[in-house]
Chains A and B, each alone.
Chain A
């Protein structure tokens, strides 16, 4: 669990909704750079921003963000609901 990385499908979901990074940034009231860093996995967003992004893209937070365990070890039990 310690090596868990946060993966996201932000780019895919954004493309599905036909939104640019700038447009999405406007909807959730952040800068385009914030969206860009989250999308690239360089920055882990707060729960509030994750929820805002999920709402803006009409998906659940679990669909947008998921844990990718390094070395192929998976966590036991369901993912906690945010």
Chain B
């Protein structure tokens, strides 16, 4: 089971990184003009691919309760909590910065919401990946 656990962990991590990269590209695309449409379709296809893999990953874990317990152990819960705590501060800083910069930057409500959403989803994921690194 050991190597299976490690293999699953690695594949789950790779999947997360892929999903984050594609989502980041999609996010940037909102603020950039002139991105060709085939590029967007490719991005959508990649998102579906990574989401399907994430679903598969979840199913594999559900089938093995022992594996599920091991992969949600106290250290993982600890770093997850840390990442949420950091996200709280990052989002707070972004909101305060946007408040101060509201006269300088002319951002639409949609853009502001997208920035906050981006920070909410990406900060915990990136921090988790950083903290989960092998040192």
Contacts and interface: CB of A to CB of B under 8 A. Distances in A.
B61 interface: no
B75 A34 contact: yes
Nearest to A26: B2
Contacts of B76: 31, 34
A34 B74 contact: yes
Nearest to B66: A29
Most buried by A among B75, B134, B135: B75
B85 interface: no
Interface of B: 1-3, 5-6, 9, 66, 69-71, 73-76, 78, 132, 134-135
24 contacts: A22-B3, A22-B6, A23-B2, A25-B2, A25-B5, A26-B2, A29-B69, A29-B70, A30-B74, A31-B5, A31-B9, A31-B70, A31-B75, A32-B2, A32-B6, A33-B75, A33-B134, A34-B74, A37-B75, A38-B75, A43-B78, A45-B74, A46-B74, A49-B74
